[in-house]
Structure 1
Amino acid sequence: MLKFKSSDISSFSKSTNKNKVYACMAQIAELPPQIRSSSRNIISCFFFIGFNACFDFFFKNYMEELYDILKEKKQIDIETDLYSIELAAFFSDSPARAKALNIVQFNGEFGCLHCFHPGENILSKGNKRIFTNDNYQIKSNEAYLELVEEAEKLNFPFLGVKKRCILSDFLMIPNQIILDYLHLTFEGVVKRLINIWFEKFLGKKLNFSL
């Protein structure tokens, strides 16, 4: 079983107008966890250097040979053994996810892929979008497909969805789009929580790196 994932975008310079490196890689989900993420077992799907990558173009061309196998769930005969190939999930950081799925960024209106929360802009050292603790309907795959249909009919983003993406042929969106645990939990969030919890006892913020 293949599990596709998209890596971070790497820039050649700090300027937002310069070229970037985009990469898409895959893991074999059924390998033991100890060796699943080894560089020897990571499948490099494609790399792109440029200002802006069109993921639809790359997915379509890269997966052309696999399309019939994945869509029809055909088996592959390798040395007398039959193997099935299935895409289990897709995960990436927020910018790559927005590009791959043709959805609005996390900091845009209706930027949450998993619910219908529109978010709210606040002024705090620049514009920031927050998601208040309100109950909003969770998005299902059926709801997502309806949003795609409406967005393509309007030729304009509709409730956070811009248009259809290639991955929707193989994955149930958003059900099989995994949240990015690394960035959501470890990139500054844990540090911020620890400071919130302990600052009042110490009288100052902790100076450390996670």
Structure 2
Amino acid sequence: MSIIIPDIEWYERQSQKINITPRCPFSSVERCPRYYQSLSLLKDAGTTAIDSKEDKRLLKYWEKNDLWPKINEQATAIAGNPNNPGHFWNFCPEVAFDRFGYFASDLNAYADELYIELAHEKLGREGAPSKDWRWAWSSINPMHYSQCPLYSVLMHKSEAEVKHILPEKAPELLQNIAWLLKNWKRHWLIIVFAAAVIILTILFTPFLNWLKQYLDSFFRLTNRFT
């Protein structure tokens, strides 16, 4: 059985296959509860902690969100030696890569030095490359962000927000623009005029704003002496 090495090359190939962005668009503590939870817990694994006030604010924010895990099996978790935890479960693959170099939701270290020695002997006989995760981990679960259980929900919420923000006439406006571009030869004068108006507006708006401020100041000054 071939071993999947979920490094950056593997990750980008998965993204290309389904024609989506190379990295997760929700990789932010403000946009995804799993990203936040993963990053926050890494302080127990020797990573620089989020500022305590910021961490409390984010925790309070996400606990009220419907995407926050309701049972322990859904929650991101770290287990093992308190000084050197070796089990990372339900992790954001983006956070896991930034910390460990592999895009995975679960990573489990070897139980002890004996298991590490036996694994290394086996990998040496196989000629395993240095980037093979088995040199450091007993098992991992490779994951692309599109497989994350929160991704589809976040994407749906994001699309709903965009539709709410866009005016109701937006589809009609886009259709009109597409029609003009398709028939530009017949209506080139309209297109040129519209482009000229846009360019002149961009160029002269700062000047008009300055002129308005100047005139307002002038009239206020004049009123003082009248």
TM-score (norm 1): 0.25
TM-score (norm 2): 0.24
Greater strand fraction, Structure 1 or Structure 2: 1
Greater helix fraction, Structure 1 or Structure 2: 2
